[in-house]
């Protein structure tokens, strides 16, 4: 029987709230991009050189790399939910240290600790979202992760902007200290969340898995056909996984898993090589190169870019499950390459080298407003192209392509790849902007071209399939460019068949003994006929088996 509606059974609410973990990443990005160009920050930390500033920014990514690797075994052992809570706790500690920093060393330590938290959350939140969401809105739910990142960037940036007018060190301490608030909200709120039903099933906690799944899909009705069919599918997948090799990192690099592991790692790596997060970290320097002068003017121009990042993620959230993954990735990287080539070309044609007071060489456009405005416009269009494509899909795709037995570890490697490239780029880009100036944009444009080719030939379409149906997709011989979204999945057919069987049982009960037709069997005694049986679930010349508990069978 259905029970009273609860927010904790609403997939949208659970998925959206969990993305506060993604918001932490956005907070961290803006916590540096909004202060690196301010006088208070530069004076207090003794005008860090480009390489030192790169190290300060990259410290977070370094911590995130290790946090993502830790998240794999933690997610399997202590659950997805508790790993997110652990990330929130670590984030609170790191933010306090960062806020209290008295030198560069203390600041770096705080950012490394914050990075560990971001690595844990950025890897585990998409998995939790994917495992609680039905297939028809899974892309939308996981895409909320990217939207939360953009909101974190925007909110923290405006906090930074407001604090930039404070004539004291509080100009950067307040934004760093206020980061504690979302961490505490995430920690307290996640405590009340349900566990992932697939994690519960994987741990053999079948009754709890059924209860959570029923709450998420049918407001607590365990006899609902959609609940019974999905439960049976999860049960079959978990039991099949248990017949395979031991769950170790070595399995990730053996066939058939290695292909999917490589796709997830490469997709996350490519998302960094678009140059988007570099643009977020060093947006102040980029607009200075475009000829925008003055701290206030630079911050205002930057804020427009952050607002666009938030707004243009919305169409992807709404339509990713209609458009599919492949078209979004291909179109997005094509346009990003175009805008980056234009930015580099405009900067190279109309810019010139400038030597600052500390003998640092930069490249900027001076005295040419049309060229400056064109660079800024291309920068905005680049952000829009990323926000509607690679931003959300780079989190969605890796979270949905792996089987349960390796999902946590495989996604941890994918996310670690993201942070490894994030670290390398955050550290290397300031010296690059100093040494090869505008040519840096051509490098990222070339990466966008390469990732377009890679996606076209290697990445199959996953839209419309359940998590348990990904094995069939990736084990097929269909080339990636010939794959399409699946209009009707096996789960859809199982649900329809179960509805027919339940309707038949209901009429039989009414005709024979008048019993309540809603008193249906437990999903362990599933009325869904196994593959290879007739409509009544009978196998010719064989005994009928009814499975009561996974691994235990009773013969009649």
306-359 confidence digits (pLDDT tens): 899 999 999 999 999 889 999 999 999 999 999 999 988 988 888 777 766 554
Contact of 211 with 222, CB cutoff 8 Å: yes
Q: Which of 245-259, 393-407, 423-437 has the highest mean pLDDT?
A: 393-407
- List phi, psi (to 5°) of 382: -65, -45
User: If we measure between CA atoms, which residue out of 312, 303, 356 comes closest to residue 34?
Assistant: 303
Q: Which of 245-254, 370-379, 421-430 has the highest mean pLDDT?
A: 370-379
Reported pTM: 0.79
Structural element, H or E, at residue 555: strand 552-555
65 half-sphere exposure, CB direction, 13 A CA radius: 14
User: If we measure between CA atoms, which residue out of 284, 276, 328, 271 comes closest to residue 441?
Assistant: 276
The stretch 355-371 carries a mean pLDDT of 68
Question: What percent of the chain clears pLDDT 90, i.e. is strictly above it?
Answer: 39
Q: Concatenated DSSP letters for 436-491? A: TTTHHHHHHHHHHHHHHHHHHHH----TT--GGGHHHHHTS---GGG----SS-HH
Contact of 112 with 60, CB cutoff 8 Å: yes
- Structure confidence at residue 190 (pLDDT): 95
Mean model confidence pLDDT for the chain? 82
362 forms beta bridges with 354
Question: What percent of the chain clears pLDDT 70, i.e. is strictly above it?
Answer: 83
429 pLDDT tier (thresholds 50, 70, 90): confident
Report all structural domains of the chain as residue ranges with CATH numbers, in order of start.
2-194+252-476 (1.20.1250.20)
Structural element, H or E, at residue 426: helix 404-435
526 forms beta bridges with none
- Structure confidence at residue 425 (pLDDT): 84
Q: Is the pLDDT of residue 550 over 80?
A: no
Burial of 20 (0-12, 13-18, 19+ CB in 10 A): buried
The stretch 79-108 carries a mean pLDDT of 94
The answer to which of 172-181, 256-265, 282-291 has the lowest mean pLDDT is: 282-291
Contact of 252 with 409, CB cutoff 8 Å: yes
The stretch 206-213 carries a mean pLDDT of 94
Q: Is the pLDDT of residue 539 over 70?
A: no
Q: How many Å apart are CA 11 and CA 166, to the nearest integer?
A: 42
192 pLDDT tier (thresholds 50, 70, 90): very high
User: If we measure between CA atoms, which residue out of 202, 152, 159 comes closest to residue 408?
Assistant: 202
CA distances from 309 to 1, 119, 279, 339, 390 (A): 44, 22, 12, 15, 12
530 pLDDT tier (thresholds 50, 70, 90): very low
Instruction: Quick: pLDDT tens for 29-79.
Output: 777 776 776 778 888 888 888 778 878 888 888 899 999 999 989 998 999
């Amino acid at each position: 029987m259905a029970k009273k509606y609860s927010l904790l059974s609403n997939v949208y609410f659970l998925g959206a709230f969990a993305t506060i973990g993604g918001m932490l990443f956005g907070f961290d990005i803006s916590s540096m991009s909004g202060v690196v160009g301010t006088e208070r920050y530069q004076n207090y930390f003794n005008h860090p050189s480009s390489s030192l500033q790169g190290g300060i920014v990259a410290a977070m990514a370094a911590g995130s790399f290790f946090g993502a690797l830790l998240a794999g075994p933690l997610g399997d052992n202590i659950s997805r939910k508790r790993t997110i809570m652990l990330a929130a706790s670590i984030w609170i500690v790191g933010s306090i240290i960062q806020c209290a920093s008295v030198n560069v060393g203390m600041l770096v330590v705080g950012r490394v600790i914050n990075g560990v938290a971001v690595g844990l959350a950025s890897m585990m939140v998409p998995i939790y979202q994917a495992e609680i969401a039905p297939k028809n809105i899974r892309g939308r739910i996981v895409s909320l992760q990217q939207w939360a990142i953009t909101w974190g960037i925007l909110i923290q940036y405006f906090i930074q902007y407001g604090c930039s007018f404070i004539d004291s060190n509080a100009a950067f301490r307040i934004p760093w200290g206020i980061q504690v608030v979302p961490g505490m909200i995430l920690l307290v709120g996640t405590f009340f969340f349900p566990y992932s039903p697939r994690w519960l099933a994987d741990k053999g906690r079948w009754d709890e898995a059924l209860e959570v799944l029923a709450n998420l899909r049918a407001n607590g009705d365990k006899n609902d056909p959609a609940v019974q069919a999905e439960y049976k599918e999860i049960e079959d997948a978990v039991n099949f996984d248990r017949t395979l090799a031991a769950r170790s990192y070595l399995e990730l690099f053996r066939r058939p898993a290695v292909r999917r592991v490589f796709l997830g790692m490469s997709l996350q790596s490519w998302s960094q090589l678009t140059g988007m997060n570099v643009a977020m970290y060093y947006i102040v320097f980029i607009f200075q190169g475009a000829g925008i002068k003055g701290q206030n003017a630079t911050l205002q121009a930057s804020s427009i870019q952050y607002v666009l990042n938030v707004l243009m993620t919305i169409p992807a959230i709404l339509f990713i499950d209609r458009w599919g993954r492949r078209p979004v990735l291909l179109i997005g990287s094509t346009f990003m390459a175009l805008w980056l080539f234009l930015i580099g070309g405009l900067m190279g044609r109309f810019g010139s080298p400038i030597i600052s007071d500390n003998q640092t060489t930069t490249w900027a456009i001076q005295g040419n407003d049309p060229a400056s405005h064109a660079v800024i416009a291309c920068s905005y269009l680049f952000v829009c192209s990323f926000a509607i494509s690679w931003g959300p899909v780079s989190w969605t795709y890796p979270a949905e392509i792996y089987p349960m037995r390796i999902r946590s570890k495989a996604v941890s490697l994918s996310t670690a790849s993201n942070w490894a490239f994030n670290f390398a780029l955050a550290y290397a880009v300031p010296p690059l902007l100093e040494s090869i100036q505008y040519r840096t944009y051509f490098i990222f444009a070339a990466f966008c071209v390469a990732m377009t080719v890679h996606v076209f030939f290697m990445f199959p379409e996953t839209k419309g399939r359940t998590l348990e149906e990904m094995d069939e997709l990736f084990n097929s011989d269909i080339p990636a460019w010939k794959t399409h979204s699946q209009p009707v999945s096996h789960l859809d057919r199982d649900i329809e068949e179960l509805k027919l069987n339940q309707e038949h049982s209901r009429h039989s009960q009414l005709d024979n003994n008048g019993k309540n037709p809603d008193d249906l069997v437990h999903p362990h005694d599933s009325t869904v006929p196994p593959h290879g049986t007739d409509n009544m679930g009978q196998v010719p010349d064989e005994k009928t088996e009814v499975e009561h508990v996974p691994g235990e069978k009773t013969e009649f």
